[in-house]
Structure 1
Amino acid sequence: MEDTPPRLFTLERDLDVTGISGNGTVADGVLWPDRSASIRWRGNHPSVVFWQRFEDAVAVHGHGGATRFVWADEEA
């Protein structure tokens, strides 16, 4: 495991392809040093999901670019 700190991110949905979460900031997340990730969904029915691999979270929730993973440490 690398000696790196956790990184914060948000999921920014430009197009809600499922019609469930809406557009805008739909979730907050943490990328852990071992490349696992925790995502907490916002909205009327919040939940927390844990992914063993961050890349799997991107594959499922990125919707081909309709949802962006925006890093807090890279915001302008």
Structure 2
Amino acid sequence: MTDDHVPRRFELVREEDVSKTSGTGVVAVGVEYPDGAVHMQWRNAENDGLETDANGCAFKPAPDGLAATEEIHGHDGRTTVRFLDDVDERQ
């Protein structure tokens, strides 16, 4: 049996906060599902620059979920997706 049905966890890592909204470092965590959909939760409650205790969520549908996430939140390469699970572990 293969693990191709298991989601892959990731962190959204921001080197520079051009919008001055989410801060730097790990600003969100998420999963990429095997069909390509992405679900992500912002770490807003851990950002001293925001006055909120809530973490917003974002969903990008398959099959372009990861590409859409990087296009929307990547800030021209200033934010990257860092996978926590090796893709080889899913095969």
Task: Determine if the TM-score, normalized by the shorter chain, exceeds 0.5.
Answer: yes
Structure 1 residue runs of 5 or longer lacking an equivalent are: none
Read off the aligned partner of 1:14 and give its amino acid letter: E
Q: Deviations over 1:15-64 (max 9, x none)?
A: 00110000011000100011010010002341111101221111000111
**Contact 2:44-2:56 within 8 A present in 1 as well:** no
Match of 1:25?
Answer: 26
Bigger strand share: 1
Match of 2:80?
Answer: 68
Match of 1:59?
Answer: 71
Selected match of 1:47 from 47, 56, 64: 56
The CA RMSD measured in Å over matched residues stands at 1.3
TM-score by length of 1: 0.87
Identical counterparts, % of pairs: 36
Q: How many angstroms apart in 1 are the aligned matches of 2:85 and 2:41?
A: 18
TM-score by length of 2: 0.73
Structure 2 residue runs of 5 or longer lacking an equivalent are: 46-53, 87-91
